[in-house]
A and B are shown apart, each in its own frame.
Chain A
Amino acid sequence: MIDRRDFLKGCVACSVTAASISVAGKNAFAAGSFEGYPDAMGVLVDLTRCVGCRSCEAACNNEQKLPEPDLPFDDQSVFMEQRRTTPKAYTVVNKYEVADKNTLFRKMQCNHCNEPACLTSCFVNAYTKTKEGAVIYNSKVCVGCRNCMIACPFNIPAYSYSSPTNPLVKKCIFCYDTRLKNGRPPACVEICPQQVMTFGHRSDLIEMGHERIKSNPAKYVNKLYGEKEVGGTSWMYLSSVDFDKIGLDNHMQNEPIISNVKDFLGMVPMVLSIWPALFTGIHLLATKNKGEHGDHDHKEGDQQ
């Protein structure tokens, strides 16, 4: 006869596992509606101003003490192909041929999301969104699963695969340690001759961006990219052409990436609490008329 003892045993065995894991579901619920820190800083990138001088790449390399580049930063031949961020370059400028022989340059770096996918996908919590707005990375705990690279909607984090003993995620950290923490703009913003980038409070920059579009509607497409995308980003873009044409996904969701897995994470506590009772109950029903539980053991097992 299966009795209450067996039933309880089943429940206990499961709830031990449940206890450790239910933290997951609960915290996931708490996340997801975060709108960004009120005093977070940001950068407004006006792509119509960029002339492709690559000073920002040089300044970033210098500020972050990155390895020597393959080519000098005044070499324009790099524009022959589309580049992405690498462990040696946290920011790169690409050239896009847009309508009527026009070209547009786009600088790319971490956009420092309000609710970063890298942060929410990381199982050791290696990322932090600071109150200043930077998304920074703790190399001490990173295991190297690279889920952040999978999750980042902008394909920004790069991994230093070449190191056998200490490979790490390499990405723009908004010059947090050396500058942002002290209220100073990042190195790329400071060096830019064209002031493509305007550094300021994110809330001011949103206003400023819309003001620029309003006062010059012929020049800009009517969209401030990054204001709403994936829950809002600290770096936002103005462009004279459709963002799809310069490698930015124009149909990016407005909800943060974490909201895609919220349904699933929300289900976790339910499964953990209902399944043990449900299946132990089914067991009772399924085996009621089949005689003694435990009788189906391999009889020969009882060694003398």
Chain B
Amino acid sequence: MHAVKRQMIMAITGALFLVSSTCFGAGIPDKVTIDSIQKYYSAVDFNHAAHINTLKDCGLCHHHTTGAQVNDPNCVRCHKNSGAQAVVSCKGCHAAEPFTPEALKRQRDQVPPIYHMDKVGLKGAYHLGCLGCHKKMGGPTGCQDCHKRNVSGDAIFHSNTYTPKSTNEPKQSHH
């Protein structure tokens, strides 16, 4: 019994330490390499520090998880005082594969069923978050401004070395 209790206390203390250290910036990375779902594009070298300097508000990207004040009325209902969380990275919550049968089943079976029902997948979270803000703030919005397309990407886009040879012909060719 004692051992269990002690472990629990240690765990909670550890968690609290982690949370507070994130809050106070001790564990904030200056650079993040976003490479968990690369397939057709190379990884993104994300300058975290520059974004923090520009935006100042962690909640713009991290919602309530960093303990920042939330304003969205839909979030406020539960997360007004929920404080900083152990997991703050995007991939910690947003699933890389949101539409597998298991993921759909998990979503269907969650209790209570209404919260976070419509949570976007990881790729969606990155792009909706980054691109949505870049559009508003005048940041780069082209696909390859952030990540270069790799060879397999070129292949499915029929671009660069895979450019169709018939490109110079008229588009609507009636034989």
Contacts and interface: CB of A to CB of B under 8 A. Distances in A.
| A and B held together in a complex | yes
Interface of A: 49, 51, 53, 55, 58-59, 61-62, 68-74, 162, 183-185, 189-195, 198-201, 204, 207-208, 211-212, 215
Interface of B: 40, 74, 98-101, 104, 107-108, 114, 117-118, 120-121, 123-124, 126-128, 131, 141, 143, 155-159, 162-164, 166-167, 169, 171, 173, 175
Given A194-B127, A195-B123, A211 B100 contact: no
Contact of A193 (B98, B123, B171, B175): B123
A58 B164 contact: no
16 contacts: A49-B128, A51-B141, A58-B158, A70-B173, A71-B164, A71-B167, A72-B157, A72-B164, A72-B167, A183-B101, A190-B99, A193-B143, A194-B124, A199-B104, A204-B107, A211-B118
Contacts of A51: 131, 141
Given A69-B164, A201-B104, 8 more contacts: A58-B156, A61-B156, A68-B164, A70-B164, A70-B167, A73-B156, A74-B157, A192-B123
B99 A200 contact: yes
A201 B126 CA distance: 24
A69 B118 contact: no
B128 A72 contact: no
Contacts, number: 91
Nearest to B144: A74
Give 9 nearest A-B pairs by CB, closest first: A195-B124, A183-B101, A72-B159, A185-B99, A199-B99, A193-B127, A62-B156, A73-B157, A72-B158
A53 B143 contact: yes
B78 to A, nearest CB: 14
B131 A208 contact: no
Contacts of A53: 143
